[in-house]
Every structure is written in structure tokens, then in C-alpha cells.
Chains A and B, each alone.
Chain A
Amino acid sequence: MDLQYSQEYEDFREEVKAFLAANWPLQGDEAQLGVKEQGALFRERAIAAGYQARGIPRKYGGSEQEPDVLKATIIGEEFARVRAPAEMRGIGPSMLVPTLLECGEEWQKEKFVAPTMKGEIHWCQGYSEPGSGSDLASLKTRAERVGDEWVINGQKIWTTGAHLADWMFCLCRTEPDASKHAGISYLLIPMKQEGIEVRPLKQMNGGADFNEVFLSDARTPADHIVGERGQGWVVSRSTLKHERSMIGDSRQSSLMFKGLVRLAKKLGRIDDPAVRQQLAELEGYVLAHQYSGYRQLTCAARGQQPGPVGLMNKLNSTNIGHRSARIALDLTGDAALLGPTPTEGNMYSGLGESAGWITQYMWSLGIAIAGGTANIQRNVIAERGYGLPRDAAAQTSK
């Protein structure tokens, strides 16, 4: 066990600071570019310097660094301090890229990884369907080979960011005669085409982050398949694993906790003994999650398995998100009675600032459902983590 910032890390911090001093904010003509262009330019330099895309090989546009929690923490802290653009996150960088690196063809990695990491290509995930949620492998969207192309027909749902995406990684049934799991393939489909219609779904918190996607004779080239025909299920397991660890990232929990303490201070509630107890108990969970992350990263670096805890990250994050939002709901009090329309210049205007936390309370529920519901997570933990019997329904349909 060694968590100290040795001289090596102090030196590294100085390096990062020097890099940032020279590279952010952008100067001269570059400072006149749009936000997106500035971000892309900066990220390219940050990757070249080894500070972003650290887990990705150089030949695919990454910086190929040894995994190191302390260095990652230092980079996070120093970048945040000067508000420099953080590493690209979201569905493409966190889910598609690791999947391509694990299962993709050489040309696919070359074509997609670097632009995705630079934020030039945005992705959405075509998994869930109206009739296939927790029982994802029952999905019905068909893809047929016609000449040099796949022709796809069907409907996807809960597709986060489909309205902004350039590409979709999509599970389709390509082998209708094969068994449920063996009939699925993993295709990469361009979104900007005639055969694709995206309709937003309005959420209970008023936002519209996800969509329905209708595919009517949508097309993609025959070689835009990851893995072999019929291996899509196996490939998708790899993606889901990455999604769960993304949702399970403990840094998010830590940031939310710090925000809560600030909120309690701002609202003058931090001296309330009951509030202090609630916050301190929550911090116990947040710290446990953080150290559990340290341990899992150490295991990964050593090539060891961390045990069942590796299956728990998503549910643990979800639980923490719920607890955090619940405390925020208590702290903000009557503000929870207000709708999302801003209130200014009237008796409610003082309450408006709390609105973000109210939305967060509802959003924490969305997180509990997305990427495998909490109940499906419990099945996975019980069955794969502790060897309990498979669910009866899942057994018979396999």
C-alpha cells in the first residue's frame, strides 16, 4: 500500500502545471475559435502530452500511459483548477472505444477511435427496444445483408443523445434462425440518413436526453460489424461492462458530495446536528466507493480480479446518487414544490437556485434504470458474484 505523493508525483504535478500554463487558455487567433473547436484543439495537445486518452494506444490516437490513479487524480485536479477542457466522456469515449479496442477490426479502430476521443464524432447506443428492456436479448430489430450493405428495420428506445449523434452502435438480429443470444450482431450505423427518424422522449424532470429511433430500410456498409455475425451479444457484454464502470465512477459521487456540503453551508443548515449526521454518513459511502475504486485499479494494474466488488460499482453509485439527492431534497425544502419555470421578481425567487438539485433528485432515478436497472444489477451480483441460482425465467428462455 502506498498512496503518498512521492517526489515523482510532485514533479509530475509541476509538469502538468507547466503544460497548462503554456496551453490553456488558448491565445491569439486560436482564442477566437468556437468553444467546440477550442476544446478539440486543446485535447489534441493534452493527448500528445500524455494527459488524456491515457488508456488508448498511440497508434489509435491515444497517449498510451501506464494506469496510475495518482497521476489521473493530479491531472483531474490541475485541469479543473484552470478550467481546462476535461477528457471527452460520454457514450463514445467510455463505451464504444473500449469495445472497439477489445473486439474491433484494425481499420475500425483507426477510423473511429481518435475522432471519438477528440469529440469529432458523437455516438449513441442502439440497444433497448420497446419490448426488450431487461430481457435485452429478445430484441427484434432486423438487419439483412443486401449486396454490400446491411439493411436495418426496427425500433430502438431510450437512446440517449440520438438527436446529436453521428453514429449508432446497434444490436440487430441478423441470424433469425439461430437461438436468442446467438442471432445478434453488433453494427455501426451512420445516423444522418434517410432511413433513420429520431423522436425525442420527454422525461419526468422535463428534459429530453433520450429518444425513440425508428429504422426503416436504414443502411450501413457490410464491413461495419464488430465481431463476427452472431457474436453481437458477446461484444455487447463488453460494452455494458464499460458502461457500468462509467456509471460507477466514484469521482462523480465525490463531486456531488462536495456540492451538497456547499449547498448546506449556503442554506445555513451546516450547523444542524441532524444534517451533519446525514452528510457524514453519506461521506462514509462516498469514501468507501472512492477507495474501492483505488483497489480495483490496483487489481487491474496487477492483472488480478478484484472479486465480486467489480460487479457492484453501478449499484453502489446509484445508491449514493439516491442518498445524495434525498439529502438535497431535505435541504432545499419548499423549493421542491416549484416547477422548472424560473421564478424571478416574486416571493419565490429566492428558492430558484435549488432547482438543479430537484432535477438531480429525479435524475438519480434515471441513473438507477439506465444501463441495466438496479434490480437486474442485483441479479448479476447475486448470480455471478455469489453463485446463487440463475433466475428461473432467464434459464428457460436461454
Chain B
Amino acid sequence: MNFGLSEEQELLQQTVAQFIENESPVTRVRELYDGDAPYDPAAWKGICELGISGLMVPEEFGGAELGLVDLALVAEVLGAGAFPGPFLGHALAVIALLEGGSDAQKAKWLPRLAAGDALGAVALGEESGAWDPAAWTGDVSGDAVSARKAWAPGAADADLLVVGVAGGELVLVEATASGVSIEPVDSMDRTRRFDGVVLENAPCEKLPGGAAAARRVRDAGLVLLAADAFGGASKLLQMTVDYAQTREQFGQTIAHFQAVKHKLADMAVEIEPARGLYWYAAYAWDELPDEAERAAAHAKAHLADRFMDLARDAVELHGGIGFTWECDVQFWFKRAMFDRAFLGQPAEHRERAARLGGW
């Protein structure tokens, strides 16, 4: 029995962290933040070349055939780097094919998605706030789908859309197909920009995995958000510790003041022990199917809330500068808002956790 990372997993995290340091430092994040392009295609290509686009894809389709634990470990590092790009939507589109795709669908899409030659995205949430698969309303008749899906990160650049429809199922829609229109929208988190997806009798293919596969995709999404939140919160904590040791008032760094030290200690106690929540949820998704849904709900609810709380504290401890556009803290503050809202608010998942716990 062990609850720790393997050497390969530690190396994976170090490799991605090194890549971010070289290719997507925070100065680059800022350029993109203030620009029109949602992300840097060269940086995304680099991520694909590291094998991350196909991390969970079977070797026969050109992937590394690893588990959600490994992908979540990557999500943590990308979260710490506030990496701008289509990682989340692409990862969930791949997982949808793995969990629910037919052999033909897998053979057609997985090699290209794994190599990064095609980009995937998911369109799950709706304007009404319907994140739960049971509440989706997209209408499939024959081989065509009509649906209005809000909050689809990276949809504008995607080649393949995985769309949630009535009955809690998923369909594949090619982005270039007739009847597909993308509605751009201004996004709070400019490192992961949303689009609306409107489908009017667009040609589609159902994923034979049905509602069960859709729930697995949702759960994997919750785990990846939880991992992102842990990475982002840990990064913000370190940034705030560093700031407190640099900023001087009353003739000394503010780190000397017990009010500041104690606040930082409390922030640390809120986030650092919670690392295992996303580890466990990812592990359960891979290995303990009976526990996976509840563990994912808990991980997302808890870590998204802790990230949001910590982001507020980080802004406060940075003082006036923390409230400005020029301060980097805002990148993570807004990622916290994304992690908290995307795929449903913490309260929704806590209620599910309670129900799944038998109370």
C-alpha cells in the first residue's frame, strides 16, 4: 500500500513545470491576457509534444496510456502556471472518447487528438445553469443535434466538439459541420476563454457509452478542476509568502508582523493538507469505481472553495497593488472563479456527496 507518487510521476510534474518556466512564464501569460489570441499555439504544441494531449490515450492510438492520476498531476502544474490554453476541454473530449466512444470513433479521432493534430473541446453547461448531465436539454433526432450550450472553453479553435444532450448523453460534432455556430463571449478567466455553441440540426454521432460515460467525463472534469485549484492555490500561497518577505513597511518586511505570518499560516493549513483530496479522487476514478463519483464531488467542492478563499486572502495581503490589473495575483484569482463555477458550484457537489454517502 502506498499513497505517494512514483519517480515517473514526480518526473512528469518536473518536466511540465520546467516547460512552463521556459515557454510560458508569467510575463507571457500577461501578454496573452491583454491580447486577442486566447492562447499561444506554439506553447500548446509544445505541451502536445510532451505527450500531454494523449496522456491517457492507449498506446495503439499513439498515447502514453496513463491514468487520470497522471493527468491530474499535470493539471496541478498547469494550474500553478496559470497556463493559458485548451488543456481542460481537450482532455475531457479525449476522456469522453475513451469512456464512451465506439471502436470506429476511437480509431478516427484518438490518434489525431493524442498527437495534437486535432483539438477537442466539450460543450456541457447551459444558460439555465444546467451542469448535471440529467439536466442537459440538447435535442437529437436521427443523426442531427440541436442545442444551445454555454460555457464551452476553447470551442472556437476546436476541431471536435463533445456535446451534452438530453438524457445525459454525449454526441460528437465536427466543428466544420453545417449548423454549427460559435458565439464568442467575454470571459472572466482570460487564460481559459469560453465560447457559446449553438447547434441547429448539426450532423452528429452519439457516443455509445451513453449516460454512464457522460457521468465519468463529468467526474474526471471535477478531478482536473480540483487539481488545478490545488496547483493555483499553492502557487498563490508561495507568491504571497515571497511578497511578504519583500514588501517593507515600518522599516521592516511585512513578514515580520505576526498578523501577516499568522494569516499566511492559516492559508497554508487550509490548502496544503488538501492535496490528497484530488489525489484520492483521481486514484478512485482509475481504480475504485464505486467511490469515484463521491470522491470527485468532494475534491472539486472543497478545493475550489479553498482556492477562492485563498485568492481573496492573497489579494488582501498584497494590499493596494493586489487589487490592480498589473498585479499577477488576478490571473489566479480568476482561475479560482472558473474552477469554482465550471461543472457546477461547490454546493451542488456537496449535496451530491451527501446523497452518495447515504445521508
Contact status A291-B272, CB under 8 Å: no
Given contacts A1-B5, A276-B350, A276-B354, contact A388 B269 (CB under 8 A): no
Identify A308's interface contact among B262, B268, B280, CB under 8 A: B268
Q: A153 near B: Cβ within 8 Å?
A: no
Whether A77 is near chain B, meaning CB under 8 Å from some CB there, is no
Please tell me if A315 contacts chain B, counting CB pairs below 8 Å: yes
Which 6 residue pairs across A and B have the least CB separation, nearest first? A291-B276, A284-B302, A280-B350, A294-B3, A378-B265, A292-B273
Q: Which single member of B245, B280, B301 contacts A291 (CB below 8 Å)?
A: B280
Q: Which residue of A lies closest to B69 (CB)?
A: A1
23-62 of chain B: CB within 8 A of chain A: none
Task: Give the nearest-CB partner of A390 in chain B.
Answer: B256
Q: Is the CB of B262 within 8 A of A265?
A: no
CB A310 to nearest CB in B, in angstroms, measures: 10
Q: Is residue A14 within 8 Å, beta carbon to beta carbon, of the partner chain?
A: no
In this assembly, does A231 line the interface, its C-beta being within 8 Å of a C-beta of chain B? no
Chain A residues contacting B302 (CB-CB under 8 Å) are 281, 284-285, 287-288
Q: Are B277 and A277 in contact (CB under 8 A)?
A: no
Residue pair B298, A299 in contact (C-beta under 8 Å) = no
User: What residues of A have a CB within 8 angstroms of the CB of B245 in the complex?
Assistant: 387-389
| Cβ-defined contact, A69 with B3, below 8 A | yes
> Which A residues, 324 to 356, have Cβ-Cβ distances below 8 Å to chain B?
none
Q: Which of B283, B347, B357 contacts A3 (CB 8 A)?
A: B283
Whether B279 lies near A1 (C-beta < 8 A) is: yes
B245 to A, closest residue via Cβ: A388
* Contact present for A377 and B277 (CB under 8 Å): no
Chain B contact residues, majority secondary structure: helix
CA distance A381 to B266 in the complex (A): 9
Selected contact of B354 from candidates A279, A285, A381, CB within 8 Å? A279
Taking a contact as CB atoms under 8 Å apart, the answer to whether B277 and A284 are in contact is yes
> 13 additional contacts, CB 8 Å, given A3-B288, A312-B273?
A1-B3, A1-B279, A69-B3, A276-B354, A277-B350, A283-B298, A284-B274, A284-B277, A288-B302, A291-B276, A381-B269, A388-B264, A389-B256
Near B by CB (< 8 A), chain A positions 119-170 give none
Contacts of B357 on A, CB cut-off 8 Å? 261, 283
Q: By the criterion CB–CB under 8 Å, are B288 and A4 in contact? A: yes
Contacts of B255 in A (CB 8 A): 388-389
A292 and B298 contact, CB distance less than 8 A: no
A3 to B272, CA, bound (A): 21
Which of B273, B283, B298, B302: most chain A Cβ within 10 A? B273
A/B interface sample: 10 pairs, CB < 8 A: A264-B359, A280-B354, A281-B301, A295-B275, A298-B3, A308-B272, A312-B272, A378-B261, A379-B261, A391-B258
